[in-house]
Chain A
Amino acid sequence: DAGVTQSPTHLIKTRGQQVTLRCSPKSGHDTVSWYQQALGQGPQFIFQYYEEEERQRGNFPDRFSGHQFPNYSSELNVNALLLGDSALYLCASSRTGSGGYTFGSGTRLTVV
């Protein structure tokens, strides 16, 4: 049983560019959440998607947007990249009504 799959694992982008990160949730899960983790800090909540809609959002600018597809997979898009967007981006999935999240291994984004 595959867990949460994220792609790509590593990515280098130039300041000002746009990036799309992808996430396939664990089988049976219908909710996807995205987190940003800067070096040495705990993960920070970006937003959560359920039934193809953004259900909750953390304190992140509109440059961060997302999408959830009918098969529950999700994308995180970041526009106009800043150096400060360099981080590990984590996707977590869960099943509605259950407690825990299953996290993927993340995408390491470096903005130069």
Chain B
Amino acid sequence: DTGVSQNPRHKITKRGQNVTFRCDPISEHNRLYWYRQTLGQGPEFLTYFQNEAQLEKSRLLSDRFSAERPKGSFSTLEIQRTEQGDSAMYLCASSLRMGEGTDTQYFGPGTRLTVL
């Protein structure tokens, strides 16, 4: 068990460019979550997948954001036409959903995005 990994760890881009982040969950975890955390704040939910199905999206996830989990394993989060307000830490978490109740989410180290 190597934990949740995210790449890249840091990304600096210019306003208007597209960026893509990758998240590799703990193996055999069927749920994967994306959160955004701005400096000094708690994380905010963006979206989550169960296997390859995207089950919920937050209103924070504008049309410029798209997330995929094509084979039910790793996931990508793409931001098109980045804006300075997109600067944040993007966190990925995974969990194993086995039935009723709430499973525990394990977080990755995050990708810090800076939009110049």
Do chains A and B interact in one complex?
no
Residues of chain B touching chain A, judged by Cβ–Cβ distance below 8 Å, are none
